[in-house]
Amino acid sequence: MTTTTPPTLPLRILIADDHDVMREGTRAVIERQPGWEVCGIACTGREAVAQAIQLQPDIVIMDMSMPDLNGLDAAVQIKRRLPRTEILMFTAHETDELIREVFEVGVKSFIFKSQAHTYLIDAIQSLAQHKPFFTSKVSETLFADILNRSAPHSNGSRTGQRLSAREREIVQLLSEGGSNKEVADTLGISVRTAETHRASILRKLGLDSTASLVRYAIRNKIIEA
């Protein structure tokens, strides 16, 4: 009596990117791979979260710079609801702090857009096995961070106060032109709570106006200029 091997389920991938060329190029690469399928497309960070919760993909390929909700904060929300879903983050910005923050929220692969054509397939294959995938630049940054934290003279702290995921979300909405009421409606909170968050954020960052908050958001890659 012969036995048959059950068919392998397809690897289901959600693509979240607001740039048509990048999104369609990524889709074309994925659809050429046997057993891989694109189960959904999202054009904003908030749409990516909603689709991920609905479709429960194996992997989300996320652009870091997304309108409405940036890729980092979208990743936080996805990992909170779907801890087994892996995330591959695309970015055009090579900052050490960004690399650290991405991995701290549970993202296991981080690729610069300029390297996507070289590493995309390898990264997805690693994530399909729930293994991290690092490029040499990312590995160097993470290794240097480990050494700095373990140094006897280091207290492990960094200058400045870091914002929470909710605070970054509010910074993005305000910096994209949202009023306190629009922020409140988007997040399902009261206008008074939105105003309190805004005042707290400005105080924490040492800023005094929405204009300075916009400059902060651009400088820290929360929004694109």
Token duo for residue 91: 């970015």
**CA 3 vs CA 6, 7, 59, 210: distances in Å:** 9, 12, 31, 66
Number of domains comprising the chain: 2
Classify residue 200 as left (phi > 0), alpha (psi -120 to 50) or beta: alpha
Same-domain check for residues 197 and 115: no
End position of a domain, from candidates 101, 119, 148:
148
Domain membership flag for residue 6: no
Domain membership flag for residue 157: no
Domain membership flag for residue 140: yes
CATH number at residue 42: 3.40.50.2300
Neighbours of 20 (CB within 10 A): 9
Whether the model clears a pTM of 0.85, i.e. scores above it, the answer is no
Residue among 225, 224, 222 nearest 74 (CA): 222
**CA 87 vs CA 46, 108, 134: distances in Å:** 15, 7, 13
Domain membership flag for residue 169: yes
Same-domain check for residues 199 and 101: no
Q: Distance between CA 100 and CA 126 in Å, rounded?
A: 20
Domain membership flag for residue 100: yes
* Cα-Cα end-to-end distance for the chain: 66
Same-domain check for residues 41 and 130: yes
pLDDT digits (tens, 9 = 90+) for 198-219: 888 998 888 888 888 888 888 8
Q: Which domain holds residue 210?
A: 165-219
End position of a domain, from candidates 148, 176, 204:
148
End position of a domain, from candidates 148, 178, 202:
148
pLDDT digits (tens, 9 = 90+) for 108-161: 998 888 888 889 999 999 999 999 998 766 666 555 554 455 444 444 434 346
Domain membership flag for residue 160: no
**pLDDT for residue 144:** 53
CATH number at residue 201: 1.10.10.10
Mean pLDDT of the chain: 83
Counting every residue, how long is the chain? 225
Domain membership flag for residue 144: yes
Classify residue 147 as left (phi > 0), alpha (psi -120 to 50) or beta: alpha
- What would the DSSP string read from start to end of 34-65? TTEEEEEEESSHHHHHHHHHHH--SEEEEESS
Domain membership flag for residue 78: yes
Which H helix or E strand runs over 86? Answer: strand 86-91
